[in-house]
Structure 1
Amino acid sequence: MSKFEINEEIIRSLAGLLDETGLSEIEYESQGHRLRVSKGAVAQSVVAAPAPAAVAAAESAPAAVAADQPLAGAVNSPMVGTAYMAPEPSAPAFIKVGDMVTEGQTLLIIEAMKVMNELKSPRSGKVTNIMVSDGQPVEFGEPLLTIE
Protein backbone atom coordinates (compact mmCIF):
# COMPACT_ATOMS: atom_id res chain seq x y z
CA MET A 1 0.00 0.00 0.00
CA SER A 2 1.33 3.43 -0.90
CA LYS A 3 1.97 6.07 1.75
CA PHE A 4 -0.92 8.50 2.17
CA GLU A 5 0.22 12.10 2.25
CA ILE A 6 -2.06 14.47 4.14
CA ASN A 7 -3.03 17.50 2.09
CA GLU A 8 -4.05 20.27 4.50
CA GLU A 9 -5.71 22.22 1.68
CA ILE A 10 -8.12 19.34 1.05
CA ILE A 11 -8.88 19.01 4.76
CA ARG A 12 -9.56 22.75 5.06
CA SER A 13 -11.75 22.63 1.95
CA LEU A 14 -13.76 19.69 3.32
CA ALA A 15 -14.13 21.42 6.69
CA GLY A 16 -15.39 24.52 4.87
CA LEU A 17 -17.95 22.39 3.03
CA LEU A 18 -19.20 21.08 6.38
CA ASP A 19 -19.83 24.65 7.53
CA GLU A 20 -21.43 25.69 4.23
CA THR A 21 -23.78 22.72 3.99
CA GLY A 22 -24.59 22.06 7.63
CA LEU A 23 -23.40 18.45 7.28
CA SER A 24 -21.78 16.80 10.28
CA GLU A 25 -19.42 14.56 8.31
CA ILE A 26 -17.91 14.41 4.84
CA GLU A 27 -15.75 11.78 3.19
CA TYR A 28 -13.34 12.11 0.24
CA GLU A 29 -11.68 9.26 -1.66
CA SER A 30 -8.73 9.47 -4.03
CA GLN A 31 -6.21 6.93 -5.29
CA GLY A 32 -7.37 4.18 -2.93
CA HIS A 33 -7.31 6.34 0.21
CA ARG A 34 -10.30 7.74 2.05
CA LEU A 35 -10.36 10.87 4.21
CA ARG A 36 -13.25 11.56 6.57
CA VAL A 37 -13.75 14.91 8.32
CA SER A 38 -16.33 15.12 11.11
CA LYS A 39 -17.67 18.15 12.95
CA GLY A 40 -17.17 18.04 16.66
CA ALA A 41 -14.71 15.15 16.43
CA VAL A 42 -11.48 15.33 18.36
CA ALA A 43 -9.46 14.41 15.25
CA GLN A 44 -10.04 13.73 11.59
CA SER A 45 -9.89 10.11 10.54
CA VAL A 46 -7.60 9.02 7.71
CA VAL A 47 -8.31 5.49 6.59
CA ALA A 48 -6.96 3.34 3.77
CA ALA A 49 -9.92 2.32 1.61
CA PRO A 50 -9.48 -1.48 2.08
CA ALA A 51 -9.77 -1.28 5.89
CA PRO A 52 -13.24 -2.81 6.32
CA ALA A 53 -14.20 -1.94 9.89
CA ALA A 54 -13.04 1.67 9.78
CA VAL A 55 -15.45 3.04 7.20
CA ALA A 56 -18.61 4.52 8.67
CA ALA A 57 -20.35 4.40 5.29
CA ALA A 58 -20.20 0.61 5.44
CA GLU A 59 -22.41 0.69 8.53
CA SER A 60 -25.25 2.14 6.48
CA ALA A 61 -24.72 -0.18 3.48
CA PRO A 62 -27.33 -2.85 2.79
CA ALA A 63 -26.88 -5.95 4.96
CA ALA A 64 -26.21 -8.13 1.91
CA VAL A 65 -23.08 -6.12 1.08
CA ALA A 66 -20.10 -6.84 3.33
CA ALA A 67 -17.84 -3.83 3.87
CA ASP A 68 -14.74 -5.76 2.82
CA GLN A 69 -16.32 -7.36 -0.26
CA PRO A 70 -17.51 -4.88 -2.88
CA LEU A 71 -20.62 -5.77 -4.84
CA ALA A 72 -19.62 -7.10 -8.28
CA GLY A 73 -20.40 -4.57 -11.01
CA ALA A 74 -21.58 -1.94 -8.51
CA VAL A 75 -21.72 1.73 -9.39
CA ASN A 76 -21.27 3.61 -6.11
CA SER A 77 -22.35 7.11 -5.20
CA PRO A 78 -19.50 9.59 -5.60
CA MET A 79 -21.10 11.98 -3.08
CA VAL A 80 -23.76 12.52 -0.44
CA GLY A 81 -27.01 13.78 -1.91
CA THR A 82 -30.44 12.86 -3.25
CA ALA A 83 -30.79 10.43 -6.16
CA TYR A 84 -33.19 11.21 -8.99
CA MET A 85 -33.92 8.59 -11.61
CA ALA A 86 -35.17 11.03 -14.30
CA PRO A 87 -34.18 14.48 -15.57
CA GLU A 88 -37.49 15.90 -14.29
CA PRO A 89 -40.51 14.54 -12.38
CA SER A 90 -42.70 13.88 -15.43
CA ALA A 91 -39.92 12.39 -17.61
CA PRO A 92 -39.15 8.67 -17.95
CA ALA A 93 -36.29 7.23 -15.90
CA PHE A 94 -32.80 7.36 -17.41
CA ILE A 95 -32.47 3.57 -16.98
CA LYS A 96 -34.36 0.49 -15.85
CA VAL A 97 -33.28 -3.05 -14.96
CA GLY A 98 -32.41 -4.94 -18.14
CA ASP A 99 -31.32 -1.86 -20.12
CA MET A 100 -28.04 -1.97 -22.00
CA VAL A 101 -25.96 1.13 -21.24
CA THR A 102 -22.81 2.54 -22.79
CA GLU A 103 -19.81 4.06 -21.03
CA GLY A 104 -20.51 7.73 -20.34
CA GLN A 105 -24.30 7.40 -20.52
CA THR A 106 -26.25 9.21 -17.78
CA LEU A 107 -27.56 6.70 -15.23
CA LEU A 108 -29.19 9.06 -12.73
CA ILE A 109 -28.78 12.46 -11.11
CA ILE A 110 -27.49 13.15 -7.61
CA GLU A 111 -28.49 16.51 -6.18
CA ALA A 112 -25.91 17.86 -3.76
CA MET A 113 -25.97 21.43 -2.39
CA LYS A 114 -28.66 22.40 -4.92
CA VAL A 115 -26.47 21.25 -7.84
CA MET A 116 -27.72 18.48 -10.15
CA ASN A 117 -24.80 16.11 -10.85
CA GLU A 118 -25.23 13.55 -13.64
CA LEU A 119 -23.82 10.15 -12.72
CA LYS A 120 -22.26 8.71 -15.89
CA SER A 121 -21.80 5.01 -16.51
CA PRO A 122 -18.20 3.92 -15.86
CA ARG A 123 -18.55 1.05 -18.37
CA SER A 124 -20.84 -0.48 -20.95
CA GLY A 125 -23.07 -3.38 -19.98
CA LYS A 126 -26.48 -4.48 -18.77
CA VAL A 127 -28.20 -2.89 -15.76
CA THR A 128 -28.91 -5.87 -13.50
CA ASN A 129 -30.05 -4.16 -10.31
CA ILE A 130 -31.12 -0.68 -9.19
CA MET A 131 -30.81 -0.29 -5.42
CA VAL A 132 -32.13 3.27 -5.01
CA SER A 133 -35.46 4.87 -5.73
CA ASP A 134 -36.34 8.32 -6.99
CA GLY A 135 -35.84 11.00 -4.34
CA GLN A 136 -33.89 8.70 -2.00
CA PRO A 137 -31.01 10.17 0.04
CA VAL A 138 -27.68 8.48 -0.76
CA GLU A 139 -24.34 8.36 1.05
CA PHE A 140 -20.83 8.55 -0.33
CA GLY A 141 -19.73 5.10 -1.52
CA GLU A 142 -23.23 3.60 -1.32
CA PRO A 143 -23.95 1.08 -4.10
CA LEU A 144 -26.62 2.58 -6.37
CA LEU A 145 -26.91 -0.01 -9.14
CA THR A 146 -25.04 -2.83 -10.82
CA ILE A 147 -23.86 -3.11 -14.40
CA GLU A 148 -22.62 -6.44 -15.72
Structure 2
Amino acid sequence: MSNKTHDSDVTFIKALAELLNENDLTELQVKREYGDHDALSVRVSRKQEVINHVTAPAPGPAALPSPTAPASGPVATGGASGDASATDDPASHPGAVTSPMVGTIYMQAEPGAPSFVSVGDKVAEGDTLLIVEAMKTMNHIPAPRGGTVKRILVEDGAAVEYGAPLMIIE
Protein backbone atom coordinates (compact mmCIF):
# COMPACT_ATOMS: atom_id res chain seq x y z
CA MET A 1 0.00 0.00 0.00
CA SER A 2 1.48 3.33 -1.00
CA ASN A 3 1.95 6.27 1.33
CA LYS A 4 -0.57 8.27 -0.72
CA THR A 5 -3.25 5.60 -0.08
CA HIS A 6 -2.27 5.58 3.60
CA ASP A 7 -2.69 9.36 3.84
CA SER A 8 -6.06 9.08 2.11
CA ASP A 9 -7.13 6.39 4.60
CA VAL A 10 -6.14 8.56 7.57
CA THR A 11 -8.14 11.46 6.12
CA PHE A 12 -11.10 9.10 5.57
CA ILE A 13 -10.96 7.85 9.19
CA LYS A 14 -10.79 11.41 10.52
CA ALA A 15 -13.84 12.31 8.42
CA LEU A 16 -15.72 9.31 9.88
CA ALA A 17 -14.85 10.45 13.41
CA GLU A 18 -16.18 13.94 12.63
CA LEU A 19 -19.36 12.44 11.13
CA LEU A 20 -19.80 10.35 14.28
CA ASN A 21 -19.59 13.40 16.54
CA GLU A 22 -21.61 15.78 14.34
CA ASN A 23 -24.54 13.34 14.12
CA ASP A 24 -24.35 12.18 17.75
CA LEU A 25 -23.82 8.54 16.69
CA THR A 26 -22.25 5.90 18.92
CA GLU A 27 -20.60 3.87 16.18
CA LEU A 28 -19.83 3.72 12.46
CA GLN A 29 -18.50 0.71 10.60
CA VAL A 30 -17.36 0.96 6.98
CA LYS A 31 -15.51 -1.31 4.56
CA ARG A 32 -13.70 0.31 1.64
CA GLU A 33 -12.80 -1.95 -1.30
CA TYR A 34 -9.73 -0.99 -3.34
CA GLY A 35 -9.34 -4.13 -5.44
CA ASP A 36 -9.60 -7.90 -5.35
CA HIS A 37 -7.40 -8.39 -2.29
CA ASP A 38 -7.09 -4.87 -0.96
CA ALA A 39 -9.63 -3.40 1.44
CA LEU A 40 -9.87 -1.18 4.49
CA SER A 41 -12.29 -2.04 7.31
CA VAL A 42 -12.88 0.75 9.82
CA ARG A 43 -15.00 0.82 12.95
CA VAL A 44 -15.19 4.11 14.84
CA SER A 45 -16.89 4.04 18.24
CA ARG A 46 -17.56 6.91 20.61
CA LYS A 47 -18.97 5.18 23.68
CA GLN A 48 -17.94 2.13 25.64
CA GLU A 49 -19.97 -0.91 24.61
CA VAL A 50 -20.96 -4.04 26.45
CA ILE A 51 -19.72 -6.77 24.11
CA ASN A 52 -20.57 -9.89 26.10
CA HIS A 53 -24.36 -10.06 26.32
CA VAL A 54 -24.31 -13.32 28.26
CA THR A 55 -22.43 -12.33 31.41
CA ALA A 56 -22.92 -8.55 31.46
CA PRO A 57 -25.85 -7.02 33.33
CA ALA A 58 -28.59 -5.50 31.21
CA PRO A 59 -27.59 -1.99 30.05
CA GLY A 60 -29.68 1.09 30.75
CA PRO A 61 -32.50 2.06 28.39
CA ALA A 62 -31.34 1.99 24.77
CA ALA A 63 -32.28 4.58 22.15
CA LEU A 64 -34.64 2.07 20.59
CA PRO A 65 -38.38 2.57 20.36
CA SER A 66 -40.11 -0.55 21.54
CA PRO A 67 -43.75 -1.56 21.81
CA THR A 68 -43.48 -1.88 25.59
CA ALA A 69 -41.63 0.24 28.11
CA PRO A 70 -38.77 -1.47 29.99
CA ALA A 71 -39.84 -3.13 33.21
CA SER A 72 -38.93 -1.14 36.29
CA GLY A 73 -38.78 -4.17 38.60
CA PRO A 74 -35.52 -6.10 38.19
CA VAL A 75 -36.76 -9.42 39.57
CA ALA A 76 -39.70 -11.57 38.44
CA THR A 77 -41.36 -13.47 41.27
CA GLY A 78 -42.54 -17.05 40.90
CA GLY A 79 -44.31 -18.73 37.98
CA ALA A 80 -42.95 -18.78 34.47
CA SER A 81 -39.46 -17.38 34.96
CA GLY A 82 -38.48 -18.27 31.36
CA ASP A 83 -41.21 -15.99 29.99
CA ALA A 84 -40.29 -13.17 32.38
CA SER A 85 -36.64 -13.17 31.29
CA ALA A 86 -37.66 -13.04 27.62
CA THR A 87 -39.80 -9.92 28.22
CA ASP A 88 -37.27 -8.19 30.53
CA ASP A 89 -34.32 -8.20 28.09
CA PRO A 90 -35.07 -9.24 24.51
CA ALA A 91 -31.37 -9.01 23.60
CA SER A 92 -30.60 -11.94 25.91
CA HIS A 93 -33.25 -14.17 24.30
CA PRO A 94 -31.61 -17.05 22.40
CA GLY A 95 -33.77 -16.30 19.34
CA ALA A 96 -32.99 -12.57 19.24
CA VAL A 97 -31.93 -11.09 15.92
CA THR A 98 -29.79 -8.02 16.55
CA SER A 99 -28.86 -5.10 14.34
CA PRO A 100 -25.45 -5.45 12.70
CA MET A 101 -25.15 -1.66 12.34
CA VAL A 102 -26.45 1.77 13.25
CA GLY A 103 -29.24 2.90 10.94
CA THR A 104 -32.93 3.31 10.18
CA ILE A 105 -35.37 0.36 10.06
CA TYR A 106 -37.60 -0.32 7.08
CA MET A 107 -40.07 -3.19 7.43
CA GLN A 108 -40.92 -3.31 3.70
CA ALA A 109 -39.05 -2.94 0.40
CA GLU A 110 -40.84 0.32 -0.48
CA PRO A 111 -43.64 2.48 0.94
CA GLY A 112 -47.02 0.79 0.50
CA ALA A 113 -45.51 -2.67 -0.07
CA PRO A 114 -46.30 -5.51 2.34
CA SER A 115 -43.90 -6.06 5.26
CA PHE A 116 -41.15 -8.62 4.79
CA VAL A 117 -42.38 -10.49 7.89
CA SER A 118 -45.13 -10.29 10.50
CA VAL A 119 -45.54 -11.93 13.89
CA GLY A 120 -46.43 -15.58 13.38
CA ASP A 121 -44.74 -15.88 9.96
CA LYS A 122 -42.47 -18.85 9.30
CA VAL A 123 -39.06 -17.86 7.93
CA ALA A 124 -36.20 -19.86 6.48
CA GLU A 125 -32.53 -19.13 7.09
CA GLY A 126 -31.49 -16.31 4.76
CA ASP A 127 -34.98 -14.84 4.23
CA THR A 128 -35.01 -11.02 4.39
CA LEU A 129 -36.52 -9.88 7.71
CA LEU A 130 -36.17 -6.11 7.25
CA ILE A 131 -33.85 -3.43 5.91
CA VAL A 132 -31.44 -1.26 7.88
CA GLU A 133 -30.48 1.90 6.00
CA ALA A 134 -27.02 3.13 6.88
CA MET A 135 -25.29 5.97 5.04
CA LYS A 136 -27.82 5.88 2.18
CA THR A 137 -27.23 2.12 1.68
CA MET A 138 -30.12 -0.32 2.06
CA ASN A 139 -28.86 -3.41 3.94
CA HIS A 140 -31.17 -6.42 3.82
CA ILE A 141 -31.03 -8.25 7.15
CA PRO A 142 -31.36 -12.02 6.63
CA ALA A 143 -32.81 -14.51 9.10
CA PRO A 144 -29.86 -16.16 10.89
CA ARG A 145 -31.93 -19.37 11.26
CA GLY A 146 -35.29 -20.76 10.30
CA GLY A 147 -38.26 -20.54 12.66
CA THR A 148 -41.34 -18.53 13.54
CA VAL A 149 -41.33 -14.77 14.13
CA LYS A 150 -42.52 -14.45 17.74
CA ARG A 151 -41.97 -10.73 18.36
CA ILE A 152 -41.02 -7.68 16.34
CA LEU A 153 -39.26 -5.22 18.62
CA VAL A 154 -38.83 -2.26 16.24
CA GLU A 155 -41.12 -0.03 14.22
CA ASP A 156 -40.83 1.06 10.61
CA GLY A 157 -38.73 4.22 10.38
CA ALA A 158 -37.18 3.81 13.83
CA ALA A 159 -33.48 4.43 14.45
CA VAL A 160 -31.45 1.52 15.81
CA GLU A 161 -27.99 1.15 17.25
CA TYR A 162 -25.45 -1.59 16.70
CA GLY A 163 -26.46 -4.73 18.63
CA ALA A 164 -30.05 -3.57 19.32
CA PRO A 165 -32.58 -6.44 19.29
CA LEU A 166 -34.82 -6.29 16.19
CA MET A 167 -37.02 -9.38 16.55
CA ILE A 168 -37.33 -12.80 18.15
CA ILE A 169 -37.34 -15.96 16.02
CA GLU A 170 -38.01 -19.33 17.67
TM class by shorter-chain length? 0.5 to 0.7
Correspondence for 2:56 among 47, 52, 55: 52
With over 3 angstroms needed to count, the CA separation of the structure-2 counterparts of 1:124 and 1:144, relative to structure 1, is same
Alpha-carbon distance between aligned partners in 2 of 1:130 and 1:15, rounded to the nearest angstrom: 36
Alpha-carbon distance between aligned partners in 1 of 2:124 and 2:89, rounded to the nearest angstrom: 28
Alpha-carbon distance between aligned partners in 2 of 1:83 and 1:123, rounded to the nearest angstrom: 20
Three-state SS of the structure 1 residue aligned to 2:126 is coil
For 2:27, the equivalent position in structure 1 comes to 26
Q: CA RMSD in A?
A: 3.1
For 1:81, the equivalent position in structure 2 comes to 103
**How many residue pairs were aligned?**
123
For 2:131, the equivalent position in structure 1 comes to 109
Contact 1:82 1:112 in 2 (8 A): yes
For 2:3, the equivalent position in structure 1 comes to none
Contact 1:14 1:26 in 2 (8 A): no
Identity, % of aligned positions = 40
Q: Which amino acid aligns with 2:127?
A: Q
Q: Given the two structures, how large is their TM-score scaled by the length of structure 1?
A: 0.67
For 1:144, the equivalent position in structure 2 comes to 166
Alpha-carbon distance between aligned partners in 2 of 1:66 and 1:14, rounded to the nearest angstrom: 34
For 2:6, the equivalent position in structure 1 comes to none
For 1:100, the equivalent position in structure 2 comes to 122
4+ residue segments displaced more than 6 Å: none
Alpha-carbon distance between aligned partners in 2 of 1:109 and 1:116, rounded to the nearest angstrom: 6
Q: CA deviation at 1:16?
A: 4.3
Contact 1:65 1:71 in 2 (8 A): no
Contact 1:36 1:45 in 2 (8 A): no
Unaligned segments of structure 2, at least 5 residues: 1-10, 30-42, 71-86
Contact 1:84 1:109 in 2 (8 A): yes
Structure of higher CA gyration radius: 2
With over 3 angstroms needed to count, the CA separation of the structure-2 counterparts of 1:140 and 1:47, relative to structure 1, is closer
With over 3 angstroms needed to count, the CA separation of the structure-2 counterparts of 1:146 and 1:101, relative to structure 1, is same
| 1:37 partnered with 2:45 | yes
Unaligned segments of structure 1, at least 5 residues: 1-11, 29-34, 39-43
Correspondence for 2:155 among 133, 140, 147: 133
With over 3 angstroms needed to count, the CA separation of the structure-2 counterparts of 1:142 and 1:65, relative to structure 1, is farther
Report which of the two has the higher share of helix.
2
Q: Given the two structures, how large is their TM-score scaled by the length of structure 2?
A: 0.60
Alpha-carbon distance between aligned partners in 2 of 1:83 and 1:115, rounded to the nearest angstrom: 12
